Structure 1
Amino acid sequence: MQYRRFGKTNLQFSVFSLGTMRYLANAENAHRTIEKALSLGINHVETARGYGKSEEYLGAAIKRGLSVPRNQLYITTKIPPCANADTMRQCIDESLNRLNLDYLDCLAIHGLNTREHLEWVQSKNGCMQAVKEAVNDSRVKHIGFSTHGGLDIILAAINTDLFEFINLHYYYFLQRNTSAIQAVIEKDMGVFIISPADKGGRLYTPPGTLKELCQPFTPLELNYRFLLSDNRITTLSLGAATPEELIAPLEVADDVGELTAAEISVFEKLENQQNQVLGTDKCSQCYACLPCPENINIPEVLRLRNLAVAYDMNDYGKYRYGMFENAGHWFPGMKGNRCIECGECLPKCPGSLDIPALLADTHERLNGKAGRRLWG
C-alpha cells in the first residue's frame, strides 16, 4: 500500500480508502470488512450519516476494538449542508455518539450541490458556524466537502477557502472535473475520488466489448491506474460489501507510477474506438448547449450515449439514466424524451450535432427502470 499527503491537512492517507455505503449486511460483516481493510494497509475509513446504519456499525467496530490504534486510523463522516447552525450542531453530536468517537479526523459537508447549499455554508449563521465551533473545541480536525454538483458549483465552493479537501467524481470515462482538480491543487486541498468502480462505469461488471478493448488489462484496473498515476489525487474510494471484495482492487495499490507505454496504448485504442464508432455523432462534452429550456442535462445524457454506443456500456447507461428525475439535486436534469425540439441548443453546438435526435435515441436505448440513490 502506498500513502500520499492529503493536501493541507498533512494527513498521510492510503491511496485506497474504505467507503462504507455497501458493507451494511450486519455489524459483524462490517467489522470483518473493516479489519480486512486495515490488515491490507488502508488507514482511512469514510462513512456518512446518510448511509443507513454505516456510522452505527463503524462505531460498534470501534467500541469492540480494532487492530490499529486510533491515532493511526483516520475517520471521515459526511453531514449534509443545512441552513442553520443548530441543526449542524445536533448532527455532529449524533455522528460522534454513533461512531463512539471523541473527535473526527475529517468532516465533509455531504452533497454541496446547489447555489442554495453554497449560500448556507457562506452564511454567517449557517451550518459552518457549528462546524467551526467543533474545530475550535477539537471535535473535528479537518473540514472538506463532497459534491455531485456542476463544475461551476464545485469551483465556487473551492474558492470559498472554507475547505481543506474535496470528495469528487472524476474518472477516465468522466473527465469533466479536470479543471476542478487543478483548482484544488492550487489551494493545496486533498483530493478524494468518489466511487471509481461504480460511478466510474460499473467497471466491476464490464461489457464484453470494453473488456476486449482493454486487454491485457481489465477496465477497472485501467481506471485505477488512470487515477493513481495522477499524483494530484490522494486517495480512491473502495466500497467493499465484504472482506473478499477488497482483494482484487488492492492488487494495484502499489502501482502508482506514471502510465506505462502499454497502458497508454490501450487508452489510445479506447479513444480511437469512440471516434470511429460515434463519428459525427460524438458529443465532445463542451457543455455549450446549456442551459436547456426543458432542463435536460444534455451533456450528461449524451455522455451516456457515447459510452453505450462506443463500448456497449448499456447497463451502466441505464443505471445512470434512470437517476434523472428521481434523485433531486444529487443527479439533476430531465430525461431526453422531454425535448420539445425548440432548437435553442442547435446553434450553440460546435460539432453541429442533431441534439434533439440524439436525445430521442438515448432515451430509446437507455430508458428503463427508474433509479434512486441508495439512501436517497
Structure 2
Amino acid sequence: MQYRRFGKTNLSLSVFSLGTMRYLGSKEVAQQTISLAVELGINHIETARGYGSSEEHLGGAIASGSVSRDQVYITTKIPPTPDATSMRRYINESLERLNLDYLDCLGIHGLNTWEHLDWVKAEDGCMHAVQEAVIDGRVRHVGFSTHGSLELILAAINTDLFEFVNIHYYYFFQRHAAAIERALEKDMGIFIISPADKGGKLYTAPSKLQEICHPFTPLELNYRFLLSNSRITTLSVGPATPEELIEPLRIADSVDKLTQDEIEALQRLENQLSLSLGADKCSQCYACLPCPENINIPEVLRLRNLAVAYDMTDYGQYRYGMFENAGHWFPGMKANKFTECGECLPKCPENLDIPTLLYDTHEQLKGKAGRRLWG
C-alpha cells in the first residue's frame, strides 16, 4: 500500500480509503471488512451520518478493539444545515455513534446546490458549529463532498473554508479536472468518490469494454488512470464484504506514471469513442446549458456516448434512472421532457442534432427508476 499527503491536513493517507456506504448489513461482516482493510494497509475509513448503520458498525469495531484508534484516520460526513444548532447536534450524535472523542476529518456531505453553499457561508450557518468543534478539538480537519456542478465546486473551494474535497472524477468523467487543479492550488486533499461504481460500474464491465482494455481490466485501467495522477490523494473502495477488497488492492502499489501499454489501451478507448459515434459524439463542452426544461443535456449525452461506444448500457440505465428520482444528488429531468424549443442548437459548437440524440438516449436507457441508498 502506498500513502500520500492529504493536502494541508498533512495526514498521510493510504491511496485507497475504505468507504462504508455499502456495508449496511450485519455488524459481523462490517467488522470483518474493517479488520481486513486495516490488515491490507488501509489507514483511512470514511463513513457518513446518512449511511444507515455504518457509523454504529464502525463505532462497534472501535469499541471492541478489532481496530485500534491509532491505526486509522476516520472521516464522517454530515449534510449541510441552514443553522448551527442542527449541525452542533449532528456532530455530537456522530461522535457518540462512532465511540470517538474526536474526528480526524469532518466532511460537509453533499454540498450540491447554491443554497447549500449559502448555508455554509452564512455567519450563523452550519460552519459556525463546525468551527466550534475544531476549536474545542472534536474535529481536526474540515472538507466537503459534492455531486454539484463544476462552477459550484470551484466556488466552494474558493471560500477557503475547507482542507479537502471529495469529488467525482474518472476516466469516463473528466469534467471536474479544473476543480482538481484548483484544489491543488489551494493545497487541499483530493478524495475520489466511487471510481468503480459511479465511474462506470466497472466491476461488471461489458465484454466489449473488456476487449478494448485488454490486457487490463476496465476497473484496473481506471484505477491506474487515477493513481498515476499524483495530485489525487486517495480513492474510495466500497466493499459489501471483505472479499471485495482483494481485487482493487492488488494495484495499491501501482502509483507510477502510466506505462506505454496503459497509454495505448486508453488511446484505444478514445479511438473507439470517435469511431462509434462519428459526428454524433458529444465532447462535453456544456455550452448547451442551461436547458429551459432542466435537462442535463451533457450528462444525458455522456451516457449515450458510453452506451454506443462501449456497450455500457447497464451503467447508462443505472445512472439515467436517477434523473427525477435523486433530488439534488443527481439533478435534471429525463430526456423525454424536451420540447424541441431549439435553444440548445445554436449553442452547440459541434452542430449536434440534440433533440434527436436526446430522444434516442431516452429510448435506449429508459428503464426502472433508480434511487439512492438514502434520502
TM-score tier, shorter chain, comes to over 0.9
Where does residue 6 of structure 2 map in the other structure? Answer: 6
CA drift at 1:70: 1.7
Using the alignment, how far apart are the partners of 1:368 and 1:339 within structure 2? 18
1:39 aligns with 2:47: no
Where does residue 336 of structure 1 map in the other structure? Answer: 335
Where does residue 313 of structure 1 map in the other structure? Answer: 312
Where does residue 211 of structure 1 map in the other structure? Answer: 210
Report matched runs for 1:344-359 at 5 Å.
344-359=343-358
Using the alignment, how far apart are the partners of 2:153 and 2:238 within structure 1? 23
Q: What SS is found at the alignment partner of 2:127? A: helix
Identity percentage over the alignment? 73
The runs of 5 or more residues in structure 2 that have no matched partner are none
CA drift at 1:66: 2.7
1:364 aligns with 2:331: no
Using the alignment, how far apart are the partners of 1:56 and 1:341 within structure 2? 50
Report matched runs for 1:27-176 at 5 Å.
27-67=27-67, 69-176=68-175
Cα deviations by residue, 1:258-317 (Å, 9 ceiling, x for unpaired): 000000000000000000000000000000000000000000000000000000000000
1:198 aligns with 2:197: yes
| Conserved? CA contact 2:38–2:71, under 8 Å | no
Using the alignment, how far apart are the partners of 2:315 and 2:69 within structure 1? 38
Using the alignment, how far apart are the partners of 1:72 and 1:122 within structure 2? 34
Report matched runs for 1:287-306 at 5 Å.
287-306=286-305
Structure 1 segments of 4 or more deviating over 3 A? none
TM-score under structure 2 length normalisation: 1.00
CA drift at 1:95: 0.2
Using the alignment, how far apart are the partners of 1:155 and 1:302 within structure 2? 23
CA drift at 1:123: 0.2
CA drift at 1:72: 3.0
TM-score under structure 1 length normalisation: 0.99
Question: Which one is further off, 156-165 or 57-66?
Answer: 57-66
Question: Which one is further off, 57-66 or 178-187?
Answer: 57-66
Using the alignment, how far apart are the partners of 1:73 and 1:90 within structure 2? 25
| Conserved? CA contact 2:14–2:44, under 8 Å | yes
Using the alignment, how far apart are the partners of 1:168 and 1:26 within structure 2? 29
Q: What SS is found at the alignment partner of 2:202? A: coil
The runs of 5 or more residues in structure 1 that have no matched partner are none
CA drift at 1:25: 1.3
CA drift at 1:193: 0.2
Using the alignment, how far apart are the partners of 2:269 and 2:222 within structure 1? 12
Using the alignment, how far apart are the partners of 1:360 and 1:46 within structure 2? 39
Where does residue 17 of structure 1 map in the other structure? Answer: 17
Using the alignment, how far apart are the partners of 1:248 and 1:93 within structure 2? 36
Using the alignment, how far apart are the partners of 2:120 and 2:336 within structure 1? 35
Q: What SS is found at the alignment partner of 1:209? A: helix
Cα deviations by residue, 1:6-27 (Å, 9 ceiling, x for unpaired): 0000000000000001112111
Q: What is the letter of the counterpart of residue 228 of structure 2?
A: S
Q: What is the letter of the counterpart of residue 29 of structure 1?
A: V
Q: What SS is found at the alignment partner of 1:369? A: coil
CA drift at 1:88: 0.1
Using the alignment, how far apart are the partners of 1:275 and 1:248 within structure 2? 31
In the comparison of the two structures, how many residue pairs are matched?
Answer: 375
Cα deviations by residue, 1:239-259 (Å, 9 ceiling, x for unpaired): 011110000100000000000
Using the alignment, how far apart are the partners of 1:51 and 1:303 within structure 2? 28
Where does residue 246 of structure 2 map in the other structure? Answer: 247
Using the alignment, how far apart are the partners of 1:31 and 1:40 within structure 2? 14
Using the alignment, how far apart are the partners of 1:313 and 1:374 within structure 2? 22
| Conserved? CA contact 2:202–2:219, under 8 Å | yes
Cα deviations by residue, 1:54-97 (Å, 9 ceiling, x for unpaired): 00111111100134x32331000000000000000000000000
Where does residue 222 of structure 2 map in the other structure? Answer: 223
Where does residue 236 of structure 1 map in the other structure? Answer: 235
| Conserved? CA contact 2:8–2:189, under 8 Å | yes
CA RMSD of aligned residues (A): 0.5
Q: What SS is found at the alignment partner of 1:76? A: strand
Q: What is the letter of the counterpart of residue 222 of structure 1?
A: L
1:185 aligns with 2:184: yes
